[in-house]
Amino acid sequence: MSDLARDAARHLRDNQLEQSELAALLLRIWHTPSGWLGSLTSVDHKVIGKRYILTAFAFLILGGLLAVLMRLQLAGAERKLLSPDLYNQVFTMHGSTMMFLFAVPVMEAFAVYFVPLMVGTRNIAFPRLNAFSYWIFLFGGCFLWIAFLFNVGPDVGWFAYVPLSSLQYNPGKRADVWAQMITFTEVAALAVAVEIVVTVFKQRAVGMTLDRIPVFVWAMLVTSFLVLLAMPSIMVASTTLILDRLVNTHFYDTASGGNVLLWQHLFWFFGHPEVYIIFIPGTGMVSMIIATFAGRPVVGYTIIVLSLIATGFLSFGLWVHHMFVTGLPQLGASMFTASSMLIAVPSGLQIFCWLATLWDGRPVYRTPLLFVLGFFAIFVLGGLSGVMVASVPIDMQVHDTYFVVAHFHYVLIGGAVFPLVGAVYYWFPKITGRMLNETLGRWNFWLAFIGFNVAFFPMHILGLMGMPRRVYTYTPELGWDHLNFLSSAGALVFAASFALLIANVVLSLNRGERAGDNPWDASTLEWATSSPPPPYNFSRIPLVTHRDPLWAEGVNLPVVAGLSVERREVLLSSIADAEPHTREASPEPSIWPLLTAIATTTFFVGSIFTPWAAVWGTPPIAIALIGWFWPTGSKEDEE
């Protein structure tokens, strides 16, 4: 008997069963155990993805409330709502929360939920690592916010420049909390990046060649590589800062041979790609929404993918434009000016491809597309001011003013948050099985669009008038109060748009119109399964014959047969041509990722107080990892 025949005899396979029988068996194998303990063991990418999305949006609300506080403080001259010390904590918490606890995690969260569905597999690669990454992210975010509630919130800006964040100028634990929060969130982000890369490269459905991968998946693949290459830099920076503060290692102590500019290089080598880690997934969402609502394949698929890859590479050659005022030689600075201006080229190529898609299609102006149109207007304005500040002389003038605040909010909110909210409206039906209310959605869009522009456009003028960033108040004779009042009013309208989004979600969860499998008549594989998807995603793995499989094949997709229905199993395929290679066991639910995350959290928190945490904090992690990987004799361990 051949190996193949022996294997076939040992495992019951999906091609031996009727549909209803198959679905019941798959549900039994792939379901998450019930009860609160069971839910803590889940390794289902959809369960973890939902948790990630909800947690990231919770941090968005918290960060947004801080923004409202700042705008109330700045609405008039010499207001006394916040003290200078609290204001320092508030703007640091706002920036850190938005960048590290909302923007990056929420994009990865959507990838955790949708990438496996879009590539036609049953779970993400390394599902237990996925669970671990969520717990670490949650604990890191809670650590930062609990510290803030106890008046130990960081007050050194989201960039924590040395020497401001050194022990000499920042005694206490505020800077340590910031630095260790970085460690938490970067560990989580790196774990997800590894999962996404492996899922995209090895778990694509048979036939999904490189040129059939959905654009959002390409965007997340490029983003994941950016995370893998950029985040080690900030982890080195934050760890060396903690070491400087805890055991006097002198990395940034100029009196002992250290170098403060080293911090800026390390931080911005991460910090600029970070912008693209947030923006590139947004462009992926835009491509998906435009194709669906234009009712045609996106124009220039190859050009869009090229733009994503080129943007990813170029993002690593821009970091010095954050350091133009540090006294670097002008020739060196101008090299980075060149890269900074040229990165507009791939972004511009994408925008022309999207406009051509809308031009040649029959656009249906539903809420997701409205948010994409808002993205066009806002992001292009942000891009234009970006080209301005890429120029050294202009940057010298507006550096550290509200002009820069206006610029990066136009880029980040326009480039990422508008597509993200559009994506919420687009994918909510798939996640919940219900449609969001369209009327509330339109109100949501117009409040967001008007509120955003009223809040942030005046900041360009305030910056040009000389208003510096990070000041807790200003005197009336400076003449900044009218524009600040207008900006604060816009911020309240913008905040109201998010309140409306939350109300829409809450109302629609129970009373929304039922969505069906594919309410938008979209073309990609996540719409080929039920809404919400079953724990096993697809009862039979689709065979992909076209870049837009649901438009090419309709609902009756050809399928691949032969996967086991006696254990969790995924199909591995080749990187370029997605030819089937092998069947691989997929891990079952486990409590060990949570226990490992608790042990890791104890170590991380302890290590900002004492170096002895390395002695007593690491053995529990080792024990948890041994428990995690200990062979249990279950089906997932069978070869």
Partner 1 sequence: MNPSSAYKTPLYWLGVALGPAAWAVNLQTIYAITPHACARPTPATIILSIVMALIAISGTLISLGAIRGDAPEEWTEAQGGRVQNFMAWLGVGSGIIFALVILNQLAAALMISPCLR
For partner 1, the closer of residues 103 and 118 by Cβ is 118
When asked if residue 260 is in the footprint of partner 1 (CB under 8 A), the reply is no
Whether the Cβ atoms of residue 67 and residue 97 lie closer than 8 Å to each other: no
Whether the Cβ atoms of residue 100 and residue 181 lie closer than 8 Å to each other: yes
Q: Among 110, 225, 301, 494, which residue interacts with partner 1 (rule: CB under 8 A)?
A: 301
Q: Among 97, 166, 337, 607, which residue interacts with partner 1 (rule: CB under 8 A)?
A: 337
When asked if residue 305 is in the footprint of partner 1 (CB under 8 A), the reply is yes
Site track 377-406 with partner 1 (rule: CB under 8 A), x = hit: ------------------------------
Q: Smallest gap, in angstroms, from Cβ of residue 577 to partner 1?
A: 6
Q: Smallest gap, in angstroms, from Cβ of residue 111 to partner 1?
A: 21
195 alpha-carbon distance from chain centroid: 14
Q: Smallest gap, in angstroms, from Cβ of residue 37 to partner 1?
A: 45
Q: Segment 466-485, which members bind partner 1 (CB under 8 A)?
A: none
Q: Segment 306-325, which members bind partner 1 (CB under 8 A)?
A: 306, 309-310, 313-314, 316-317, 320
Looking at 15-23, 117-125, 470-478, 539-547, which segment touches partner 1 (CB under 8 A)? 539-547
CA distances to 150, 402, 405, 552 from 272, in Å: 31, 19, 15, 40
What tokens does 255 get?
Answer: 């009196």
Torsion sign over Cα 262, 264, 265, 269: positive
Q: Smallest gap, in angstroms, from Cβ of residue 232 to partner 1?
A: 17
Site track 84-113 with partner 1 (rule: CB under 8 A), x = hit: ------------------------------
- Report the 10 Å Cβ neighbour count for 106: 25
Dihedral angle computed from the Cα positions of residues 111, 116, 122 and 127, in that order, rounded to the nearest 10 degrees? -40
When asked if residue 197 is in the footprint of partner 1 (CB under 8 A), the reply is no
Q: Among 297, 363, 534, 580, which residue interacts with partner 1 (rule: CB under 8 A)?
A: 297
Looking at 162-170, 236-244, 340-348, 379-387, which segment touches partner 1 (CB under 8 A)? 340-348
Site track 204-243 with partner 1 (rule: CB under 8 A), x = hit: ---x-xxxx-------------------------------
Looking at 59-67, 303-311, 490-498, 512-520, which segment touches partner 1 (CB under 8 A)? 303-311
Q: Distance (Å, rounded) from C-alpha 215 to C-alpha 302?
A: 10
For partner 1, the closer of residues 236 and 342 by Cβ is 342
Whether the Cβ atoms of residue 222 and residue 309 lie closer than 8 Å to each other: yes
- Cα–Cα nearest to 483, from 71, 80, 195: 71
DSSP string, 477-546: GGS-HHHHHHHHHHHHHHHHHHHHHHHHHHHHHHHSPB--S-TT---SGGGGS-SSPPTTS-SSEE---S
DSSP string, 307-321: HHHHHHHHGGG-GGG
Q: What are phi and psi of 322, to 5 degrees?
A: -85, -5
Mapping DSSP onto H, E and C, the string for 204-269 reads CCCCCCHHHCCHHHHHHHHHHHHHHHHHHHHHHHHHHHHHHHHHCCCCCCHHHCCCHHHHHHHHHH
Size of the site for partner 1 (CB under 8 A): 39
Q: Distance (Å, rounded) from C-alpha 244 to C-alpha 17?
A: 63
For partner 1, the closer of residues 198 and 303 by Cβ is 303
Looking at 327-335, 410-418, 463-471, 498-506, which segment touches partner 1 (CB under 8 A)? 327-335
Q: Smallest gap, in angstroms, from Cβ of residue 300 to partner 1?
A: 10
∠ CA 164-98-290 to the nearest 5 degrees? 140
Total count of residues recorded for the chain: 639
What is the separation, in whole angstroms, between the first and last Cα of the chain? 18
Q: Among 38, 171, 172, 332, which residue interacts with partner 1 (rule: CB under 8 A)?
A: 332
Greatest distance between any 2 Cα atoms in the chain:
92
Looking at 25-33, 136-144, 155-163, 336-344, which segment touches partner 1 (CB under 8 A)? 336-344
Looking at 51-59, 108-116, 151-159, 335-343, which segment touches partner 1 (CB under 8 A)? 335-343
Q: Smallest gap, in angstroms, from Cβ of residue 178 to partner 1?
A: 29
Whether the Cβ atoms of residue 570 and residue 560 lie closer than 8 Å to each other: no
Looking at 53-61, 81-89, 192-200, 296-304, which segment touches partner 1 (CB under 8 A)? 296-304
Q: Among 577, 614, 623, 634, which residue interacts with partner 1 (rule: CB under 8 A)?
A: 577
Q: Among 233, 339, 487, 488, which residue interacts with partner 1 (rule: CB under 8 A)?
A: 339
Q: Among 63, 127, 271, 346, which residue interacts with partner 1 (rule: CB under 8 A)?
A: 346
Q: Among 247, 338, 384, 614, which residue interacts with partner 1 (rule: CB under 8 A)?
A: 338
When asked if residue 548 is in the footprint of partner 1 (CB under 8 A), the reply is yes
Q: Among 391, 473, 545, 618, which residue interacts with partner 1 (rule: CB under 8 A)?
A: 545
- Cβ-in-10-Å burial (0-12, 13-18, 19+) of 297 comes to middle
The footprint of partner 1 (CB under 8 A) covers 207, 209-212, 297, 301-303, 305-306, 309-310, 313-314, 316-317, 320, 327, 329-332, 334-335, 337-339, 341-342, 345-346, 545-548, 552, 576-577
